[in-house]
Structure formats: C-alpha cells, structure tokens
Chain A
Amino acid sequence: MSPHISLARLPLENLRRKPFRTASLITVVAILSVAFFGGSMLAMNLNKGLTSMEERLGADLMVVPQTTESKAEALLTDGTPNTFYFTNDIESKVSKADGIAQITSQTYISSLAAACCAEKLQIIGFDPQTDFVIEPWVASQYDKTLGDGQMVAGANVNVSTDGTIELYGKTWPVVAQLASTGTSLDNSVFVNKATVPQMVAASAKVAKRVMPQEYASKAVSSVLIKVQDGYDAHTVANNIAKLDPQLASVGFVYPGGVTASTKTSLNTMLSYMLVFVVVLWVMGLIVMLAVFSSSVNERKKEFASLRIMGATRGMLISIVIREALITGLAGGVIGVAAASLIVFPFSGYIGKQMQLPYLQVGIGSILVMALIALVFAVFTAAVASLFVAFRLGRPEAYLTLREGE
C-alpha cells in the first residue's frame, strides 16, 4: 500500500499531475536563470580580465616603431603575436627626455607555430635589471633572476612534463609558469635580453631568421616608461618627440588609454548585458504571471474545495508558494547547469570571440553567483505565484467556487 497524501506532498502532486504547466514554468525560470547566471559570469570574467590587464600594464607610456602602435596595443589586450623592432639604440636616446621616472625596453618576437603549442607564441625579451613591468609579476612566481636561456611561460603555454618548451628545434628550460591574465600575455614566453640573440640564431637553423643577426643583440621593440609624479604621459611623449628629429616619427602607446578604451568597450557590453537580463527578467515575470493567472480560473474550484474542507488561507498560500518554490528551484538548477555547460567549457573561445581580456573567476565566486541565481529564480517564481495565492484565498470561498464552475 502506498503512503497516503500529506500536506507536504500536496504541492508535489499538483505539479506532477499538471506536467505541461509545470514544464512550462520550469522552462521559463530556467531561461531566466541561464540569462542571469550566464550573463553575470561573463560580466565577472570580463571584469577580472580587465583588472588583471590593468595590473599587468605598469607602464604609462610605450615608445614603439612608427606604425606599430596597433600591434603593441594588441599585445596588451588580446591580439596575435608580432615581431617589430627599432634598429637603433632608441632606449638611451629616449631616456634623456624630461619627466621619466623609470625606463626599460622589451623585444618582441613572434615564433613560428611551435611544436609545443597549437598557436604561435609571443616571445618577450626583457631586461631584468631595469624592468618594472614584467619582473614584479614574474617575481610572484619565481624569486630568482631569470638566467640566460631560461624562460618563464605564460599560463596558456603548453610546457612539457620535463619543464621545457621546444622552440626553433631547441629545448628551452621553463623555470616558472605565470598565472592567467586573460590577455595575450598568457600565450607569451618571457626571456632575458641576453637570450634573444640565442633565439634569433636558433630560428635561422630551422626556418626563416626572425630578424637579421646584427640586430639580435640590440633590437628593441618598445621602450616602456613610467613617468615622474606631476608629469602626464602625453607631455612626456611630446618631450621625447622634441628630443631628436628621429624620435619625432616614433609611435606612442598609452597603456592607460588602452585600459580606458577596453574599459569603455567592457562597460558598453556590460550595459547591454544588464539591459538584456532585465528585459528578459521582466518578460519572464510577465510570462509566469500569465501562466499563473491563466491557472487561476482553472484552480478556483480546487482552492474553494480546500476551503470547504477547512483549509485556512495560510494553508492555501503555503501550497501555492511551495509549488512556486519547487518550480523556481528546479528551473534555477537547470538554468545554472545549462549556463555552466556553456560558460565554463568554452571559456577560452568566448574570451577570444569577445576580443577583450577575459579571465575565469575563482570557484568561490562561481558558487556564490550560482547561489544568488538560485535565490533569484526562486524569488521570481514566488513573486509570480503570490498573485494567485491572494486571488484564490479570499474569504468568501463559495463565490470563488461559483466563479470556477
């Protein structure tokens, strides 16, 4: 003999015996939850990517060869690897300009499709003695000075199990791998400047030489500058341009501006997402209200019957609310699960498509957001159901019964 009905089981029976209505409501809540949770995760990941990018861009000004500004900007955000360089001693010339607090230089080489990686790597040569951009970051993972021939790998670089990378037919030891930044720096390897000529020589043995050997030891792709307090990056750029006719035509990149423009793009996208989520929520609420209110007539008789049997108004409200809570929870769980199946496995692809720094937030934040999404789903369903509860719980049950006939 199966156990008889209980008040706790009554809402479940009501849902079970109306599968189409129940499935419709759960679907609406699930769609809302996908939008809410998925949208929130995207927003959080983009925000984290931006924060990470800001942290990585310690320079106020980058001096780069003429017409290579966009390549340099791409390096800071999420672009493809590039090779560009000055052929003269630009750093010492630039350093004479007024308003410079710190100065260092970097060399950028784009590798071929390396055996280790599915895509091309950006090789960044930096000077550990003067660097103020990469070194503090590397120091968080590797507290020794980077030796000649050694590499520090970005988060997405595929380092073999023996801790090496094969590049230009040569095996390079990787002493540390950095945390993810959500930018193209994740697909970069970092070497000291003395290693750059070794790389150039190695490239000549397996493919086209990446740059002429005579430039290998002195090529500088960008001069990075931290300006003194009280100086503006644009003022310092003007100062540099005035130093020498040769410097008048160099390119300037303002990482702060890159960050600002990225932030603007991000904020625009976040605004659209917010509007999308709000519109979807309002539409979802309207649909749920429509489904609930269309069930009012159908359920008038049912609820009048309960009143006739002696159910209090509180019991009726409790039944309706519990049905809504079950519906909301089921829809919320399905929605969060569905959004997770899209957002997490395709995180890399989404980041690439957005052309914005995109960095997955930690598990703690994900769990908190999932919980918020579930509460949101349950709350939405409960709000929509209150309409029914109060319509059906009015004192004169006989009139409700007559209306339901």
Chain B
Amino acid sequence: MLLEIKDLTREFTRRGVPFAAVDHVNLSMEGGELVAIVGRSGNGKSTLLNMVSGLLRPTSGTVTIDGQTVADLDDKALSRLRNRTIGFVTQSQTLLPNLTALDNVILPALFFPDESDCSPDESDSQTDGNPIDPKGGNDDVESSEPVPADDPDMPDVITPVHVPEPTAAKPDALSTRAHALLAELQVDDLADSYPKELSGGEMRRVSIARALMNRPKLLIADEPTGDLDAESTLIVMRLLRDLADRGTAVLMVTHDADALPYADRVLTLDAGRLADRPQQ
C-alpha cells in the first residue's frame, strides 16, 4: 500500500468553537491509482491533502506513505519524504517569484541531491510536445545511490551540496528533464520567464512540472486544472492519467467535472467526512 490514511482528524477553532475540518477519514491507495476527491469549498479537501503531505499536523489519526508514518518523522526525514516521494501541486500559486520557470522546476531536485536521479528519460530529450515517459520514476528512486550517512554533528543547514556543475556547452540532466516536463505541459517556451510574466494557467502548468521533477511515487494535486482552459485541462489530465498508468499514485482534489472521467475512483468529502461518490 503506497498511501494509508487511518482515522485522520484535524480540528480547528472558529470563534472559540472547535470543529473538525477533516473528520475520521480513512483511505488507502495503491501505486498506479488515480483518486479524485470532490466536495464543496470549505469541506476539508485541502486540509486533508496538506495532512497527507505533512504540511499540517493531524489532531488524531495517522498517515502512512510508502511504509513511513508521517507523524513519526523528524523534520529532515519528513522533508525528504516530501521532496523525494511526494509531488504536490498546490491550489494557490506557489512558484518562487525570484526564479525563472525553469529554475522553479529544477529547484526541488537540489534539496537532497545525493538521492537525485534526474537522468533524462529517453523522452526527456523530446521537446516537441510529445508525451514524455514518466515511467520508471519509482524504480529510479529505489535504485538511486545509497544515501551517505549524515554527520550527526553537522546541522543540515550546512550539509554540502553536490550538484554537478553544468557545462556551458551541454545542458545538464536537471535542465534537460525540466525542459522536457515544461515541453510536455506546453510551456517550455516560457522557461526563462519569471512567474509574474505568466498567466494563471501557465503558472499552474509550471507548478505541475515542478511537482513531477523528482519522479514522485505519490502525486498530490489540489485543483490541478483550476485555472486551465479546456485544452490545457486535457493536456494535464492526460498527463496525470499517464503517470498513474505507469505506477504513480495520484490523489487529486477537483471541482472540474471534465477531470473526473480520468479517475479510477471518485470520493466525496462532505463536512470533513470522506465517502464513495454515488454513481451518476
């Protein structure tokens, strides 16, 4: 089981009154599954996704990803899980304003470089908009170089970074992969643009490329087609479906009816409670 959520609850307080934004939720997902969660705004969908990715602490219950219980992980291990195992497309625009689209996509690959395997897929060299092959991402992570033991006396603030210097003549593996992802999402021509120069839909697609940079086993997408037109929605949903077909678990929250046919399962979250969506 790649993702296992057990009895997950998160309470908030509003005007002194506690309420459960997520209320005793249980969910299991295998790799290769695309699960869509629908529900009205304010019913806890984003809260659920953020607890799954460890960005929010549950009041009770557990989240286990790839055999690791999120609540048991220290900051470094949780950050590594978020970086290496999870890809997260947030609902709001979270591209770094000071970096180009290309650098935004590359950045996650720099955090734990000793575990990075961004050698280009065969398809990474394709920049003509043909589908890339995200397959093998999970295997790649499994077969990556063993992680050197951390020096317990060295805070992670000064952990040395071993990113190979790119040569001027030849694009490095990270750039090649980032360009391929951007091309797949049809925004490679904007690689050198800064986020403020992009439209909402373009930023969304760059964010998706960023989430896929480290070949995650679990892709969490909060309204991935929220700002997109029909054509772009088609591109993104085909990509997510393709990812799932190649072994990645995709957990998606959406309001977009056009996105639902791509899902293996559709669940509803109503007042913090998760349920199977009745057949329509």
Q: Tell whether A pairs with B.
A: yes
A contact residues vs B (CB 8 Å cutoff): 1, 3-8, 10, 13-14, 16-18, 301-302, 304-315, 317-318, 321, 395-399, 401, 405
Contact flag A306-B82 (CB < 8 Å), given A4-B172, A5-B103, A5-B110: no
Chain B residues positioned under 8 Å from A309 (CB to CB): 82-83, 88, 107-108, 111, 210
Contacts of B83 in A (CB 8 A): 309-311
Identity of the chain A residue whose Cβ is nearest the Cβ of B161 in the assembled complex:
A7
Q: Report the 5 A-B pairs with minimum CB-CB distance, sorted nearest first.
A: A310-B83, A5-B103, A17-B98, A305-B94, A398-B50
Judging by beta carbons under 8 Å apart, are A4 and B96 in contact?
A: no
B52 CB to nearest chain A CB (Å)? 11
User: How far, in angstroms, from A6 to B163 measured CA to CA in the complex?
Assistant: 8
Are A308 and B53 interface neighbours, CB within 8 A?
Answer: yes
Q: Which residue of B lies closest to A316 (CB)?
A: B157
Q: In the bound complex, what is the Cα–Cα distance between A359 and B248 (angstroms)?
A: 75
User: Which residues of the partner chain A approach B92 to less than 8 Å between Cβ atoms?
Assistant: 301, 401, 405
Give the CA-CA distance A312 to B76 in the complex, in Å: 6
Residue-wise, chain B 96-134 has the 8 Å CB interface mask toward A (1 for contact) of: 111100110011101110000000000000000000000
CA A167 – CA B178 in complex, angstroms?
82
Interface flag for B24 (CB, 8 Å):
no
Taking a contact as CB atoms under 8 Å apart, the answer to whether B166 and A313 are in contact is no
Q: Is B135 an interface residue (CB 8 A)?
A: no
What's the dominant secondary structure at chain A's contact region? helix
- Closest-CB distance, B227 to chain A (whole angstroms): 15
Residues of B within 8 A of A311 (CB): 79, 83, 111
The interface residues of chain B lying within 8 Å CB-to-CB of A405 are 92
A–B complex contacts, Cβ < 8 Å, 5 sampled: A4-B174, A7-B110, A315-B156, A397-B55, A399-B56
B residues 150-202 near A (Cβ < 8 Å) are: 155-159, 161, 163, 165-166, 168, 171-172, 174-175, 178, 194
Asked if B95 CB lies within 8 Å of chain A CBs, one says: yes
In the bound assembly, the distance between CA atoms of A118 and B84 in angstroms comes to 77
B241 contacts the other chain (Cβ, under 8 Å)? no
B35 to chain A, nearest CB (A): 20
Chain B residues with CB under 8 A of A8 = 161
Closest chain-B Cβ to A302's Cβ sits at a distance in Å of 6
- Residues on B with C-beta less than 8 A from A13 are 98-99, 103
* A1-B171, A318-B158, A398-B50 known; A305-B95 Cβ under 8 A: yes
A-chain residues with CB within 8 Å of residue B99 when the two chains form the complex: 5, 10, 13
Question: In the bound complex, do residue A310 and residue B82 qualify as a contact, i.e. CB atoms below 8 Å apart?
Answer: yes
Q: How far, in Å, is B71 (CB) from chain A's closest CB? A: 11
Alpha-carbon distance between A14 and B98 when the two chains are bound, in angstroms: 6
In the complex, residue of chain A having the shortest beta-carbon distance to the beta carbon of B12: A399
Q: When chains A and B are docked, how far (Å) is the Cα of A13 from the Cα of B171?
A: 21
Max count, chain B CB within 10 A of own CB: residue among A305, A307, A313, A317: A305
Does the CB pair B168–A1 fall under 8 Å? Answer: yes
A7 to B75, CA, bound (A): 19
B90 within 8 A of partner (CB): yes
Contact B106 A5 (CB under 8 A): yes
Known: A14-B98, A314-B156. A398 touches B56 (CB 8 A): yes
Other than the given A8-B161, A305-B90, A405-B92, 8 more pairs (CB < 8 A) read A3-B165, A5-B99, A305-B94, A305-B96, A313-B75, A314-B155, A317-B157, A318-B157
Q: Specify which chain B residues have a CB less than 8 angstroms from the CB of A10 in the assembled complex.
A: 99, 107
Is there contact, CB below 8 Å, between B97 and A17? yes
Flag if B161 contacts A310 (CB, 8 Å): no
* B56 neighbours in A (Cβ, 8 Å): 396, 398-399
When distances are taken between beta carbons in the complex, the residues of chain A under 8 Å from B273 are none
Contacts of B97 in A (CB 8 A): 17, 302
Name the residue among A6, A8, A304 with the largest chain B CB count within 10 angstroms. A6
A277 to B12, CA, bound (A): 48
For A310, the chain B residues whose CB sits under 8 A away are 79-84, 86, 108, 111-112
